[in-house]
C-alpha cells in the first residue's frame, strides 16, 4: 500500500482553440500546445524539478507515455540524470498506450508494497501532434505530471489497484499502418464488455465510494452500470474538467483526474482507466493539498492557424527559399561539461567570491587559485540583451539575454515563449527572469537541451489582466 505525498503538473504556455483550428466549425475545445523548443523531456523536467525541490529523493523512477521521443534510450534514466538523482537507481519506461500512466501507478504501488522501495517518482507525459489538416479528429493536449508515491503518510492513500486486460483495441498501429474497427463494435465488444467485467469484480457501493472517475471517451456507456449499483450519476460521477481546458492528455489524463479529485473532493474515490482493458485504482483522500495545481491556470491563446503551424515547425519561416538548418551539437561535449551546462555548478573564488561558470585556473579578479563549487540559482536580473536577426528561428528575432544570477554568476541565454511580444513578456534591462530547460529550436536530428530564460510574472499581474477583461 502506498500514498501520494506530493505532485506537480506542467502545461505549456500556449493554447489553441477549436475555432482557430477549424474556423466556422463552432468547436469550443481548447488544446495546450508546446512551444517550438518544448517537448516531452522539457515538460517532464519542469514538473519533476518543481516537485523534488525540498525532497524526498526518490529511490526509483517510472516514466509513462504513449508518445516517446527516444527509441532504444530510457526516458526514465534520462530524466533521472537531468534531475541529478543517484546513479544506478531503478529507472523503468512504461511506454505503449494512454493507460501507461495508471499502469505506472499500479506498478509503483506494488513495488512500495514489496518493502524494497520507499519513495518512487512517477512521471507521465504526453506531447503529440495530429497530422496537419486533421486536428479536428482528436483534441489532444500536451502536459506532464510528476508525483511521489511513498510508504510514508501523504495526501491520498492508494487503497486498491487492479487491472483487467482486454485483447480488443479500438484502433492500433501495425507496421506503421493504422487499424480501426467499426466504432460501434469496438465500443460494445471493447469498452462495454471489459468495463462490465471490471465493475462486477470491483463491486463498488454508494456508501463506500464517494466519487467514480471513468477515463474513457465512452464513459456515457457506463451510466447503466452506475445506476444499477445504486449510484446517482449526477452526484457520484466525477466530471472531467481537464479535457475542455487543455485537451485530452493521453497517459497523463488519468493522473490529472486523480489530482483534480484530490483538489476538489473528499473521502474515497474509484478510478476506472480504460484502454485495451481497465485499470481500477481506489484511493482515499486524507487531506486536500494546501496549493492547488489545476485552478487559476493562465494561457496565451494562439490567434491564427498560421502561427499554430509555425509553432509546429511546419512550412517555411521566412520565405519560400528557407529551409531548416541543422545546428551543431555534441553529446560528448554535453556529457563532459554536464556540471556546468546542466547542473549549473560554477567555481567560486574563496578569496574574493567571484563566480565563474567557465572553468578557470586563476581568478580574473584577484588572481587567486583556490576555488570551491557553487550551485547557481535559476533566477536573476537582466544585465543587458540584444536581438539576433540572423539566427534561424520560427519567430525571429532571437533575443540573447545576459543575466546576473541571484547569489552570483553570469550567463548568456536565449529568451523563449515570446511568440507574441507584449509588455508581459518583453524583457528589458533590470527585469527579473527565470531559467527554463528547453531544446535548441532548429536542431531536430538529436536532442540539444540547454537553459533559456523567460520573464518572471509580476505578482498580481494575472488578476490585473482578468480585471481588464
How many separate helices (H) and strands (E) can be counted in the chain? 14, 22
Q: Which helix (H) or strand (E) holds 277?
A: strand 277-285
Reduced to 3 states (helix: H, G, I; strand: E, B; else coil), residue 298 is: coil
Residue 252 gets which letter from DSSP?
G
Identify any residues that bridge with 379 across adjacent strands, giving them in sequence order: 434
Please give the pLDDT value at position 103.
Answer: 97
Please give the pLDDT value at position 54.
Answer: 82
Identify any residues that bridge with 160 across adjacent strands, giving them in sequence order: 282
If you classify domain 2-311 with CATH, what class do you get? Answer: alpha beta
Please give the pLDDT value at position 225.
Answer: 92
Please give the pLDDT value at position 212.
Answer: 96
Please give the pLDDT value at position 92.
Answer: 97
Which is nearest to 433 in space by CA: 453, 449, 417, 419?
Answer: 453
Residues of the chain with pLDDT under 70: 24-27, 314-330, 441-445, 458-469
Going along 37-136, which residue ranges are E strands?
A: 60-65, 90-95, 119-126
* Cis peptide bond N-terminal to 56, omega within 30: yes
Give the domain ranges of the chain. 2-311, 331-468
How far apart CA 200 and CA 202 sit, in angstroms, is 6
Going along 350-409, which residue ranges are E strands?
A: 355-356, 371-375, 379-388, 398-405
pLDDT digits 0-9 by tens, 40-95: 999 999 999 999 988 789 999 999 999 999 989 999 999 999 999 998 999 999 99
Please give the pLDDT value at position 17.
Answer: 92
Q: Cell numbers for 134, please give them.
A: 486533421
Q: Name the phi and psi angles at 424, rounded to 5.
A: -75, -30
Q: Cell numbers for 403, please give them.
A: 543575466
pLDDT digits 0-9 by tens, 438-462: 987 555 567 788 899 999 976 544 4
Q: How many angstroms separate the Cα of 249 from the Cα of each of 59, 101, 139?
A: 27, 11, 9
Please give the pLDDT value at position 236.
Answer: 94
Reduced to 3 states (helix: H, G, I; strand: E, B; else coil), residue 45 is: helix
**For residue 26, how many other CB atoms are within 10 A of its CB?**
8
Alpha-carbon Rg for the chain, nearest whole angstrom, is 24
Please give the pLDDT value at position 331.
Answer: 73
Assess contact for 93 and 75: CB atoms under 8 A. yes
What pTM did the predictor assign? 0.91
Amino acid at each position: 500500500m502506498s500514498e501520494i505525498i506530493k505532485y506537480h503538473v506542467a502545461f505549456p504556455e500556449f493554447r489553441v482553440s477549436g475555432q482557430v483550428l477549424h474556423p466556422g466549425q463552432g468547436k469550443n475545445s481548447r488544446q495546450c500546445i508546446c512551444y517550438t523548443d518544448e517537448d516531452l523531456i522539457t515538460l517532464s523536467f519542469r514538473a519533476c524539478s518543481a516537485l523534488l525541490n525540498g525532497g524526498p529523493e526518490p529511490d526509483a523512477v517510472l516514466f509513462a507515455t504513449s508518445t516517446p521521443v527516444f527509441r532504444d534510450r530510457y526516458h526514465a534514466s534520462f530524466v533521472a540524470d537531468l534531475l541529478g538523482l543517484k546513479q544506478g537507481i531503478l529507472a523503468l519506461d512504461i511506454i505503449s498506450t494512454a493507460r501507461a500512466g495508471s499502469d505506472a501507478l499500479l506498478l509503483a504501488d506494488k513495488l512500495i508494497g514489496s518493502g524494497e522501495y520507499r519513495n518512487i517518482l512517477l512521471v507521465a507525459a504526453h506531447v503529440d501532434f495530429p497530422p496537419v489538416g486533421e486536428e479536428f479528429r482528436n483534441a489532444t493536449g500536451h502536459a506532464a505530471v510528476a508525483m511521489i508515491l511513498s510508504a510514508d503518510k501523504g495526501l491520498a492513500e492508494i487503497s486498491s489497484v487492479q487491472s483487467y486486460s482486454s485483447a480488443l483495441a479500438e484502433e492500433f498501429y501495425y507496421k506503421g499502418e493504422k487499424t480501426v474497427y467499426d466504432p460501434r463494435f469496438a465500443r460494445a465488444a471493447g469498452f462495454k464488455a471489459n468495463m462490465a467485467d471490471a465493475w462486477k469484480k470491483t463491486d463498488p457501493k454508494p456508501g463506500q465510494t464517494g466519487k467514480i472517475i471513468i477515463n474513457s471517451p465512452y464513459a456515457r456507456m457506463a451510466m447503466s452500470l452506475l445506476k444499477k449499483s445504486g449510484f446517482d450519476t449526477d452526484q457520484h460521477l466525477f466530471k472531467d474538467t481537464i479535457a475542455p481546458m487543455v485537451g485530452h492528455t493521453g497517459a497523463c489524463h488519468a493522473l490529472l483526474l486523480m489530482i483534480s479529485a484530490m483538489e476538489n473532493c473528499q473521502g474515497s474515490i474509484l478510478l476506472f482507466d480504460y484502454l485495451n482493458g481497465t485499470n481500477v485504482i481506489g484511493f482515499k483522500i486524507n487531506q486536500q493539498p494546501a496549493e492547488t495545481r489545476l485552478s487559476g491556470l493562465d494561457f496565451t491563446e494562439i490567434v491564427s492557424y498560421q502561427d499554430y503551424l509555425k509553432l509546429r515547425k511546419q512550412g517555411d519561416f521566412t520565405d519560400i527559399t528557407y529551409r531548416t538548418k541543422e545546428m551543431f551539437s555534441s553529446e560528448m561535449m554535453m556529457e563532459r561539461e554536464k556540471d556546468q551546462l546542466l547542473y549549473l555548478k560554477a567555481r567560486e573564488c574563496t578569496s574574493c567570491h567571484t563566480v565563474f561558470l567557465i572553468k578557470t585556473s586563476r581568478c580574473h579578479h584577484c588572481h587567486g587559485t583556490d576555488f570551491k563549487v557553487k550551485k547557481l540559482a535559476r533566477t536573476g536580473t537582466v544585465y543587458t540583451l540584444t536581438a539576433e536577426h540572423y539566427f534561424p528561428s520560427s519567430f525571429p528575432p532571437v533575443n540573447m539575454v545576459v543575466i546576473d544570477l541571484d547569489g552570483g554568476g553570469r550567463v548568456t541565454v536565449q529568451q523563449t515563449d515570446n511568440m507574441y511580444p507584449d509588455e508581459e513578456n518583453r524583457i528589458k534591462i533590470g527585469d527579473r527572469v527565470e531559467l527554463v530547460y528547453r531544446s535548441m529550436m532548429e536542431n531536430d536530428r538529436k536532442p540539444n537541451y540547454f537553459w533559456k530564460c523567460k520573464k518572471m510574472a509580476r505578482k498580481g499581474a494575472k488578476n490585473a489582466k482578468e480585471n481588464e477583461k
